[in-house]
Amino acid sequence: MPKPFVFDRPRQAELRDASIEFLRSVIAHWKSPLGLNTALDLGCGVGHFSAVLQENGFAATGADARVENIEEAKSRHPGIVFRVADAEDPAISLLGKFDLVVCFGLLYHLENPLRAMRNLRCLTDKLLLLGSLMVAEVEPFLLLLDEPPGEDQSLRAVSCYPSEGAIIKMAYRAGFPHAYRFRELPDHEDFREGVGRARARTMIAASVPALDSPMVVPAPEPSLPRDLWTTDPTGVTRILRRLHGNLKASRKKWRS
C-alpha cells in the first residue's frame, strides 16, 4: 500500500479543497488579463495545487524542501516538473521566474520568513498568491515558536508565525510594488472568525503590476511607532498579551 501522507487526512483535505476552489476562481479572473502562463507551486507537498495549475493551462512546476514529498508528487503527477528546493535558500532563484507563484501553507513554518519572501520576489514575474496561518493583527509582528516534528511542519523545529500585517510588510520590503487583501477568502473555518476565536488564516496577493479588480483591496504597508519603550501609549503590550492568549487557544485546537 502507498504511504499515507498528512496532506491526505480529512482535516487537511477540507482546507486543501477550499483553497483549491479559491485558487480556481483567482485563475479564472486573472489568467488571461495578466497573461499568466507559467506557474510555481512552492511548498508543494505531494502536488495537489501543482495539479490544479496544470489542469488550468499552466506550465506548472512544484518545489518542496522534503525529498519524500517530491518523490510522492512525481509518482502522483508524472506530467509535472517537481524539484527539491528550500524556500529559505537563495539558490532557489535558480528555478527561474514564473508568471504566477502559489505559496500556500508554508510561510509560518519557516525560521526566516522575510528571507523566504525575498526569494519569492525573485521567483515572481507578475503575481504571488500567498496563503498562511497568521496572527489576526494589522501590526507587523512575528512570534518565534517551537514546532513539533512532522512531515508538514518546520524543517528546523522552530518557526516565525506572522501577523497579517507582517506578511504584508514583508511583501513590500521584499520588493513587491503592490500588496492586496482579498474581499472573499476560502470557504473554510480557518478563514473566518468564530465564537471566542479569531480568524486563523489569510490570503494575500502581491504583484508587480497594479491590480484593478473587485476581488481585492489595496493593503498599505503597516508600521509600528518608532519608540516601543514608552509606557504603552499604543497598546502594544496589551496586543502582545492578547496574541499570546489567542495563540495558546488556537494551538490547543489544532492538536485536538
Q: Which amino acid is at 169?
A: K
Q: Encode the chain (256 residues) as per-residue pLDDT tens digits.
A: 456 676 677 678 899 999 999 999 999 999 999 999 999 999 999 999 999 999 999 999 999 999 999 999 999 999 999 999 999 999 999 999 999 999 999 999 999 999 999 999 999 999 999 999 998 778 898 988 887 766 555 566 788 899 999 999 999 999 999 999 999 999 999 999 988 888 999 999 999 999 999 999 999 999 876 666 766 656 666 677 667 667 766 666 655 5
- CA torsion through residues 153, 154, 158, 162, sign: negative
Range 6-226: architecture per CATH: 3-Layer(aba) Sandwich (3.40)
Q: What is the 3-state secondary structure (H, E, C) of the chain?
A: CCCCCHHHCHHHHHHHHHHHHHHHHHHHHHHHHHCCCEEEEECCCCCHHHHHHHHCCCEEEEEECCHHHHHHHHHHCCCCEEEECCCCCHHHHHHCCEEEEEEECCHHHCCCHHHHHHHHHHHEEEEEEEEEECECCCCCCEEEEECCCCCCCCCCCEEEEEEHHHHHHHHHHCCCCEEEEECCCCCCHHHCCECCECCCEEEEEEECCCCCCCCEEECCCCCCCCCCCCCCCCCHHHHHHHHHHHHHHHHHHHHC
C-alpha 252: how far from chain center: 22
